Structure 1
Amino acid sequence: MNNKLNILTALLIILILLFCSNPTSTDNKPPVITIISPINGSMVSDNVIINLDVSDNEGIDKVEIFIDEKKEYVITSKPWEFLWDSYEHADNKTHLILAKAYDNSGNSSSSEPISVTVIPPINVNIISPDSGATVKDTVNIIVEAQHSRNFNISKIELLIDGEKKFTNSNTPWKFKWDTYGYTDNQEHYLEAKAIDETGKYALSKPTIVIVKSSLVVWPTYLDFGTNITQMIFRIVNNYSGTHFNKRTYSIIEDMDWISVYPTDGSSKGEIDEIIVMVDRSGLSSGHYEGEINVIESNDINNPVKVKVRAIVQ
C-alpha cells in the first residue's frame, strides 16, 4: 500500500513539475512595420500607392494609415497597401505619412513617418522660348497646361524672376514680354503657374533666358515722293538698365541713288540721326524702291531694314 502511495505521489510531483516548467506562453512581441513606398522626401501626385512591409510572429490583425496624424484608412488583410487619393492634400507642401500595425494579441507598433510633397495633377510647361535662349525686344512666350483629372485650367500666371507679371484666363496661353528695362546680358527666370478651377496650382520648371539690348530703328519706311531729296531715320539702344552695353552698327544701302551719312556708329542710349539722301539725276521716269540695312555688329544675320521709295517724273 505504501509503495502504491509513493508511486502516485511521485507521479503527481512529476506532473506538477512538468506543468510548472511549461506555463502558457503570452505574446507580448509587437509587429514590425515599414513604409516601402512612396520614398521619404519624394514628390507625389494624384493617386498614390502606399506600400507596407508588415510582419509578426502571431499574425496581423489590422493596419491603420495616418496622413498628417489623421487616420485615413484601415487595412485588415493582405496585400498591405493603400491607394491614397492625394488631391485633397495637393497644396505643394510637405505631408506626413505613418502606418500603425496591430497583431492578433493586441500588440501594436508604428512605422517611421515619411514626408512627401503633394503636387496637383497639373502638367504645365513653357514651350517658347527655349531655356538658355538669348532674347531681346518683345518676346512671345507660349505655355501649355493639362490637368489629368480633366478639371479646367482657370488661368495661367507668368512669373519673371519670381514676380508675377502677367495673367491669362483664356487659351491659347500666350504672353508678350517687353524686355525693355531688364538687366542686360543677365539671366532671367520665367515660370508659368497653372491654377485649376478648385484653386490648386502647379509651377512649370523655370526657363532661363538671357536678355540683351538691341538697336531700335524708326521710321522703317521713307517716302521721298517726287521732290524730297533728304530725310532722316533714328537709331537708339533700347536698353535702360544698369549694365549698359554699347551697340555698334554699320549701314549699307542697296541702290546707287541712295546714300546715307554716317555709315556706321554706336549707341549707348543716345539717339543717333542718320541722314538719307536720294539722287534722282540719271534716273528715268518711274517709281523706285530701295533698302537700307542697319547691321548690329553682334547680330549681323538680323539687320533692321529701312524701306526707301522715290518717284522720278
Structure 2
Amino acid sequence: MTIKKVAYIFLSLLIVSIIYFFFACDNEKDVDIEPPTVSITSPIDSQIVYDEFSIEASAVDDEGVNMVEFFIDGMIRPGGVDISSPYQYIWNTTDEQDSSFHSIYAIAYDRSNNFGISDTVTCIVDNTGRLPLAVDIYEPSDIKKHSMMLKWEQSIDKDFKEYRLFRNTSDEWDSTATLIVAIHDIETTFFDDTGLNADSSMVTPWGLEENRAYYYRVVVRDTLGLDGVSNVVSATTKLPEPVILKESYQSTKYSVKISWYSTTEDVRYFRVHRSKIENMESSLSDSVGIASPYETTFIDTGLTALSVYYYRVFLIDSAGYSVGSNIIRVQTIGVQTIELETPTEKDIAKCSITLRWTRSIEEDDTDYILYRAKHSGVTVQDSLVIVIGDKDVTIYSDIQLEQGETYYYIIYLKDSRGNLSASNEVSATTLKIQPLPISSIGIEKYEATLQWEKYPDTDFDRFILYRGLNAGFDTSYANKKYYFYDVNLTQFTDTELDLNTGYYYKFFVFDTFGYGAFSEVSFQTKCVQAVEIKDVEPFNDQFFRLTYTMNRADKDFDHYSIFRSDSTPDVDQNSLLVSTVPSRSDTVFDDYVHMEQLKQYFYRVYVFDERGNSCSGSNVKGDTLNSPPDSVTLYFQSSTNTTIELRWSKNQNIDFLRYDLYRCPHDDFTKNSTDAIKIASLYDKDLTSYIDQNLPSGVVCYYRIYVFDIGGLYTASNIVCGYTMP
C-alpha cells in the first residue's frame, strides 16, 4: 500500500472518529457503535479489466447501510458514491494506460455514521485490441417531409477516429445500407439528414422521400480500424401538412365561395373536391377545380338552390404528394329571408300598426306577401293583408284594427320561380282610447267646477258627463247628463247643486271609431260655514260678552242668530233666541238679558245665508259671577220704654238670601264682635222694618243689618243708634 493511500485512510478515519465522538457525547446510552461490513465483489484480485467496467461491492449493517464510497488508487472518482444496493461504480478504463495496475477498496457508512473499510483488490487495465465502445443513438427528432435530425452520445474511446452514420430502408443491415456522413470531431454528435449521401448523391431531388420509414445506426471507428456499432433507430418522414378549410363560407342560390388558411408547404397546386355525401374520398371524379399555390379561395358555380354540399381541398406539393384538408358542409341559400322590424311606439296607433322590413336583394323579381293573425305562429292560412310587387316598398300601415288587440305578423318573400322564404314573426298591441283624468276644483255650496286634461289625439268625437248621487251609479239612471263637442274644452262648472251633498261623476271621452273610456270623480258640496264661539265672558253678574269667529266663506251671508239655554247644553234653534246680528264683521255680542248669579248658561251661534240655510258651531257654556249683594241703609224709626223700631232700604239683588240684624252696646262692632248679638234673620226681601222688644227702659243700643246672597256673600249696612224711653 502506498504512503499516499495510507495517509488518505488515516485522514478519513480521523474525521469519522471526531464525528463519532461528538455524537457519542450527545447520547451515550443508545449509540450504535457497530460499523458495517463491506467487501469488493468485482473485480477479483489481479483481474484484467477493460472498456467500461462495473466495480461492485457488498455491504451489510444491522441498522442499515447509508452509502458506499468507491476508491480507485486512493481517490473517489466522480460519481463514485452509491446510496442503494446493489452498490456499484462504472469505471471507464479507456482513460487509463494499458497494462497499468490499480488498487480498489470501498468504505461503507451506516446511519449512525459508523464506517467499515473493505479489503483492497488489485486489477490490471488492458484495452489493447478491443473494439471501441459503442454509443447510443437517440430517436430521430425534428422530422419533416424530406429530413430528420439524428443525435447520439459522445464516444469515450481514446483512439477515436470517426463517427460513421448509416441510413437504411429496413432493419436488415447489409451492403445496401447507405453511408450518410463520416464525422471526425468526437464532440460532434448530431447530423441533419436532408437526403444527401456521403457520395454526394440524393435520395430524391427534394431530400428524403416523403412518408417513408428510415433506419439509422452510428459506427464508432478507432485508429486501428476497429468499429463499435450502436443500436438502431427509425422514423417515418411526414406527408405535406394539409390546409385547413374555414368553416365559414359565402353562398348564393347557385354558387359557393370557400376559403382556407395559407400554408408554408411547397405547393404545386390545390385541387378542390365536391360531393353530395359527407364521407368523401380522394376520387378525381369529385374534383371541381384547381387553384394556384398562391390562392386561398375558390368559387364553385352551377349549384342548386337550398342544397347541401361537402368540400375538401387537396394540397399537391412539389414532389407530387397530396394530402386532403378537413371536410366542411355548405348549403346554398334559397330566397332571401326578410327581417321584419318590431313596431316601435311611433308605429302603433289605436286602430293601425305600421310595419317595416328589410329590402329584398334578390336578382330576380320578388313579391312581399304580408299575413296577419291574432295568435302567434302566423302561416299562409291566416289573414292575407297585402301583396306588394315593388321590392323598394318596405313599409306598410295596417289599418281598421281593433283597439287594445294584439296582432301577429309575418312576411313572405316570393321569387320569380315561386320559391318562398318566411320572415321572423313580430307582434304589437294596438292602443286603447285612454280616459282623461278628471278632478274637482272650486267646490262651493251650490256649484262646483270640474276640469280634465286636453284630449291628445285627432280622432275626437265628444265628451259625455254623467252625474249621480251614489258611487258606481248606472249612467242610465244618472240625475244629470251633459254633452260637449269641443275638443279644446277642459273645464265645466255644474251650478245645479245642493249644499252639503255628495255628488259622483263619470266623464266619458269618445273617438270617431266609436271607442270610449271614462274616468270618475266625487266630492261633497260645502255647507254654510260655521262659526265658533271663542270666549264667553261674564260681566257684573248680569250679562255675558260673546266673542266668535267670522264667517268669511259664504258670499251670500245673511245674518248670525245667537241662541241661549239655561237648562240643556244642546242648544238649537228651539232654544231662546238672544239676538240676530246682520253684520258679518260684528263678532262681539253682549247679552244683557237678566240672569242669575252662579248659574251655567249655554250658547250657540247659527250662520244663515240668503237662501235660509244655516250651520252652527259648537255649544259653549258660561258661568255667571257671584258678586257681594248690595248693602241697605238702616234707620232708627221710633221707640218706647221697652222697644225700638228699625227700618231699612230694600235690597234689589235677585240672588238675595236673607237679612241678619245685629245689636251691640257700643258703636264700633261687626257681626263677629264678641258682644254683638244677632237678634233676627229675615228671609223676606220685601220686609224692611223690625221692632226690637223686651228692652230695659232708658237703654242705648247700636244696630247693623247684614244682607246675604245665595252664594254666601254678604254686605254690612251703616250702624245706627237707638234708645228706649225712660
**Mapped contact 2:454–2:488 kept (Cα < 8 A):** no
- CA distance in 2 between counterparts of 1:192 and 1:183 reads 20
Q: Does 1:195 align with 2:608?
A: yes
- CA distance in 2 between counterparts of 1:305 and 1:77 reads 84
2:434 is matched with 31
CA-CA distance at 1:161 after TM superposition: 1.8
1:205 aligns with one of 617, 638, 647: 617
2:509 is matched with 101
More RCO (CA 8 Å, sep 6+): 1
Q: CA RMSD in A?
A: 5.6
**Mapped contact 1:233–1:273 kept (Cα < 8 A):** no
**Mapped contact 1:31–1:103 kept (Cα < 8 A):** no
CA-CA distance at 1:222 after TM superposition: 0.8
CA-CA distance at 1:207 after TM superposition: 4.9
The change in CA–CA distance for 1:170 and 1:310 in structure 2 (over 3 A counts) is: farther
> TM-score, normalization: structure 1?
0.51
Q: Secondary structure at the match of 2:437?
A: strand
**Mapped contact 1:138–1:178 kept (Cα < 8 A):** yes
2:670 aligns with one of 259, 282, 287: 259
Q: 1:65-104: CA deviations, max 9, x gaps?
A: 334331256372346222344xx52432322233222234
2:463 aligns with one of 63, 69, 94: 63
Please tell me the residue identity of whatever aligns with 1:83: T
The change in CA–CA distance for 1:294 and 1:208 in structure 2 (over 3 A counts) is: same
Aligned length: 247
2:570 is matched with 161
1:222 is matched with 632
**Mapped contact 2:533–2:548 kept (Cα < 8 A):** yes
**Mapped contact 1:234–1:272 kept (Cα < 8 A):** no
In the TM superposition, 1:57-206 aligns within 5 A as: 60-68=460-468, 69=478, 70-72=480-482, 74=484, 76-78=486-488, 80-85=490-495, 88-120=496-528, 122=529, 124-126=531-533, 128-129=535-536, 139-141=544-546, 146=551, 151=556, 153=558, 156=561, 158=563, 160-161=569-570, 163-164=572-573, 165-167=575-577, 168-169=579-580, 171=582, 174=589, 176=591, 190-201=603-614, 203-206=615-618
- CA distance in 2 between counterparts of 1:38 and 1:93 reads 16
- CA distance in 1 between counterparts of 2:668 and 2:506 reads 84
Please tell me the residue identity of whatever aligns with 1:194: V
The change in CA–CA distance for 1:56 and 1:212 in structure 2 (over 3 A counts) is: same
2:449 is matched with 49
Q: Secondary structure at the match of 1:198?
A: coil
Please tell me the residue identity of whatever aligns with 1:36: S
The change in CA–CA distance for 1:189 and 1:292 in structure 2 (over 3 A counts) is: closer
CA-CA distance at 1:198 after TM superposition: 1.8
CA-CA distance at 1:224 after TM superposition: 1.2
Higher-strand-fraction structure: 1
2:386 is matched with 19
Q: Secondary structure at the match of 2:450?
A: strand
Larger Rg: 2
**Mapped contact 1:62–1:76 kept (Cα < 8 A):** yes
Q: Secondary structure at the match of 2:401?
A: coil
The change in CA–CA distance for 1:179 and 1:33 in structure 2 (over 3 A counts) is: farther
Q: Secondary structure at the match of 1:114?
A: strand
**Mapped contact 2:502–2:522 kept (Cα < 8 A):** no
**Mapped contact 2:536–2:545 kept (Cα < 8 A):** yes
Q: 1:197-224: CA deviations, max 9, x gaps?
A: 32222x2432544x55865865x23121
The change in CA–CA distance for 1:272 and 1:89 in structure 2 (over 3 A counts) is: farther
Q: Secondary structure at the match of 2:520?
A: coil
The change in CA–CA distance for 1:81 and 1:24 in structure 2 (over 3 A counts) is: same
**Mapped contact 1:215–1:296 kept (Cα < 8 A):** yes
Identity level (%): 11
- CA distance in 1 between counterparts of 2:671 and 2:719 reads 15
Q: 1:285-311: CA deviations, max 9, x gaps?
A: xxxxxx9898979xxxxxx67474567
**Mapped contact 1:128–1:141 kept (Cα < 8 A):** yes
- CA distance in 1 between counterparts of 2:437 and 2:548 reads 41
- CA distance in 2 between counterparts of 1:257 and 1:51 reads 87
The change in CA–CA distance for 1:189 and 1:206 in structure 2 (over 3 A counts) is: farther
Q: Secondary structure at the match of 1:112?
A: strand
**Mapped contact 1:48–1:84 kept (Cα < 8 A):** yes
> TM-score, normalization: structure 2?
0.26
